[in-house]
């Protein structure tokens, strides 16, 4: 959510930002917000005047009563009563105006970075850098589901019977590899100075609307029937929500946290051959990183965070690239975002395995997360980034470490988490 003062002082900047995101349907929100803000301030002024008059008239009544000027006292009492009725009406209208204004402001997208490329959708994202040379083996790389089945590592059919489309059982060495990657990612981030956390896997609606836009919520979140609870789509949701309504001492910043959680997503509208298998699923596990910092530090942290993900993948011998997200691909709360994509030898292209975002103070304003220092209080900046999400990461892993005989090599950094195992052999 942007600062109302910015909208008030430079509405044209806000309109241009909406256009850059190709959301022209939201342009009327600017005028509506300005109207509501003007009405809100007028009601505030009127209400303050009525309260001041009430205090003055109450003192006057006391004086008149002491002087036995009862008729005059009754007339002033009648005036006080009339003002009280008007004040009640003003306060009721102000409450409704404030509620509508907040609803409108929640739908106006965050101002994007000047470094964000302008484009309509993810097809116009811009490659910035590559890490490790992509390799193409001299044998055919099967589809990842076929590889996993031959390794005895996945059971999709049983999952369809128990849970439906978009679920899976991981078994044997592949299940162990899945856990090994998460454990390695956890320790990798702890070594970077991050504090390890395991958050709640369900959050209230007040947190959901604080961490994401309504469009994202509708496309991602599962609602718990009969309760004000949602299953998290990523641990960032509950990790940021942890600081809702809090004012942090400036000396505690930056807060650098890494969290593990299962993630639950509707994946509304997902379809196509690449969704078969474990590329797009309703349940997976992930290691995340979250930073809460002062505004002047957030851009530096943004650069650090995505590079941590690159470093992790490179340490496992997986070629990756950094892709700057264009304006039309940015969720409404994001100031700037980039994807880390891994190389797929089978597809001969890169695919997304992680996403890094700087949301500036958009989440902090929604959730009222502040910090206090010598100069007073201010809204903090929040950032998040995927360390690793093993289901997608497993695709990149098995394709890049696949041997001609169907076995998969385990890089040295993961062997301590795999009991020293150097290779996963074919089973079927």
Cα–Cα distance, 292 to 290 (Å, whole number): 7
For the ranges 105-109, 116-120, 219-223, 378-382, which has the lowest average pLDDT?
219-223
Q: Quick one: pLDDT at residue 87? A: 86
Any idea what DSSP says for residue 251?
A: G
| Lookup: tokens for 165 | 């489309």
Q: Does the residue 113 lie in any domain?
A: no
Tell me the mean pLDDT in the region 119-125: 95
Phi/psi for 203 (5° steps) reads -140, 160
Q: Quick one: pLDDT at residue 40? A: 95
Based on the domain organization, do 213 and 334 belong to the same domain?
yes
Nearest to 168 by CA among 347, 392, 386: 392
Tell me the mean pLDDT in the region 26-32: 97
Based on the domain organization, do 153 and 96 belong to the same domain?
no
Based on the domain organization, do 34 and 160 belong to the same domain?
no
Beta-bridge partner residues of 337 = 357
Query: Which has the higher per-residue pLDDT, 86 or 415?
Result: 415
Based on the domain organization, do 92 and 127 belong to the same domain?
no
Based on the domain organization, do 36 and 180 belong to the same domain?
no
Tell me the mean pLDDT in the region 151-165: 92
144 has a pLDDT exceeding 60: yes
Q: Does the residue 114 lie in any domain?
A: no
Q: Does the residue 115 lie in any domain?
A: no
Last residue of a domain, one of 49, 76, 107: 107
Domain count, the chain: 2
Based on the domain organization, do 68 and 138 belong to the same domain?
no
Tell me the mean pLDDT in the region 198-209: 94
Confidence of residue 56 (pLDDT cuts 50, 70, 90): confident
For the ranges 69-83, 106-120, 229-243, 290-304, which has the lowest average pLDDT?
69-83
Based on the domain organization, do 54 and 181 belong to the same domain?
no
Question: In a 3-state reduction of DSSP, which class is residue 319?
Answer: coil
214 has a pLDDT exceeding 90: no
Q: Does the residue 251 lie in any domain?
A: yes
Tell me the mean pLDDT in the region 396-410: 96
> Which tens digits make up the pLDDT trace of 352-378?
999 999 999 999 999 999 999 988 999
Based on the domain organization, do 141 and 27 belong to the same domain?
no
Cα–Cα distance, 318 to 400 (Å, whole number): 6
Q: Quick one: pLDDT at residue 70? A: 72
The CATH number that applies at residue 50 is 1.10.287.40
CA-to-CA dists, residue 181 to 184, 324, 364, 411, angstroms: 5, 26, 31, 11
The CATH number that applies at residue 208 is 3.30.930.10
Confidence of residue 269 (pLDDT cuts 50, 70, 90): low
- HSE-CB at 236 with a 13 A cutoff on CA atoms is 23
Based on the domain organization, do 192 and 312 belong to the same domain?
yes
Based on the domain organization, do 241 and 363 belong to the same domain?
yes
Based on the domain organization, do 163 and 70 belong to the same domain?
no
Q: Does the residue 117 lie in any domain?
A: no
Q: Quick one: pLDDT at residue 88? A: 87
Q: Does the residue 195 lie in any domain?
A: yes
Q: Quick one: pLDDT at residue 61? A: 67
Contacts of 107 (CB under 8 A, 6+ apart): 26, 29, 213, 214, 332
**Helix ranges restricted to H, 167-259:** 172-191, 205-211, 214-220, 235-241
39 has a pLDDT exceeding 90: yes
Q: Quick one: pLDDT at residue 428? A: 63
Last residue of a domain, one of 79, 107, 135: 107
Q: Does the residue 216 lie in any domain?
A: yes
Q: Does the residue 375 lie in any domain?
A: yes
Mean pLDDT taken over the chain: 92
> Which tens digits make up the pLDDT trace of 68-108?
777 777 776 777 777 788 888 889 999 999 999 999 999 99
Last residue of a domain, one of 63, 82, 107: 107
What angle (nearest 5°) sits at the alpha carbon of residue 206, between those of residues 294 and 234? 70
Q: Quick one: pLDDT at residue 72? A: 76
For the ranges 16-20, 160-164, 241-245, 364-368, which has the lowest average pLDDT?
160-164
Domain containing 388 equals 122-424
271 has a pLDDT exceeding 50: no
28 has a pLDDT exceeding 70: yes
Based on the domain organization, do 245 and 319 belong to the same domain?
yes
336 has a pLDDT exceeding 80: yes
- State percent of the chain over pLDDT 90: 79
Tell me the mean pLDDT in the region 379-403: 95
Phi/psi for 220 (5° steps) reads -120, -50
Query: Which has the higher per-residue pLDDT, 65 or 11?
Result: 11
């Amino acid at each position: 959510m942007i600062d109302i003062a910015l909208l008030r002082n430079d509405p044209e900047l806000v309109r241009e930002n909406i256009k850059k995101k190709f959301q022209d349907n939201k342009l009327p929100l600017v005028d509506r917000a300005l109207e509501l803000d003007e009405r809100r301030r007028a009601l505030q002024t009127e209400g303050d005047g009525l309260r001041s008059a009430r205090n003055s008239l109450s003192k006057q009544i006391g004086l008149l009563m002491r002087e036995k000027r009862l008729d005059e006292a009754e007339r002033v009492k009648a005036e006080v009563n009339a003002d009280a009725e008007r004040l009640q009406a003003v306060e009721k209208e102000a409450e409704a105006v404030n509620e509508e204004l907040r609803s409108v402001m929640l739908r106006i997208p965050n101002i994007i970075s000047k470094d964000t490329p302008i484009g309509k959708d993810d097809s116009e994202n811009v490659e910035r850098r590559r890490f490790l040379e992509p390799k193409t083996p001299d044998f055919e790389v099967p589809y990842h589901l076929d590889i996993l089945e031959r390794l005895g590592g996945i059971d999709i059919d049983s999952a369809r019977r128990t849970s439906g489309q978009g679920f899976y059982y991981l078994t044997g060495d592949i299940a162990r590899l899945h856990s090994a990657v998460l454990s390695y990612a956890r320790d990798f981030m702890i070594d970077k100075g991050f504090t390890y956390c395991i958050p709640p896997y369900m959050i209230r609606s007040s947190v959901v609307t604080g961490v994401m836009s309504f469009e994202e919520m509708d496309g991602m979140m599962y609602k718990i029937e009969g309760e004000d609870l949602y299953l998290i789509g990523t641990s960032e949701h509950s990790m940021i929500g942890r600081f809702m309504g809090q004012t942090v001492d400036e000396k505690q910043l930056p807060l650098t946290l890494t969290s593990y959680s299962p993630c639950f997503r509707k994946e509304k509208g997902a379809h196509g051959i690449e969704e078969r298998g474990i590329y797009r699923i309703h349940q997976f596990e992930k290691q995340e990183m979250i930073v809460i910092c002062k505004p002047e530090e957030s851009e530096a942290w943004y650069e650090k965070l995505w590079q941590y993900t690159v470093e992790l993948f490179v340490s496992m011998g997986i070629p990756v690239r950094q892709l700057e997200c264009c304006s039309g691909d940015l969720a409404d709360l994001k100031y700037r975002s980039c994807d880390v994509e891994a190389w797929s030898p089978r597809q001969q292209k890169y695919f997304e395995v992680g996403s890094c975002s700087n949301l500036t103070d958009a989440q902090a304003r929604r959730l009222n997360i502040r910090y206090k220092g010598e100069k007073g209080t201010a809204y903090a900046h929040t950032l998040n980034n995927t360390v690793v999400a093993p289901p997608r990461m497993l695709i990149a892993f098995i394709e890049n470490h696949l041997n001609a005989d169907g076995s998969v090599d385990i890089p040295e950094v993961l062997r301590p988490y795999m009991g020293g195992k150097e290779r996963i052999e074919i089973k079927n």
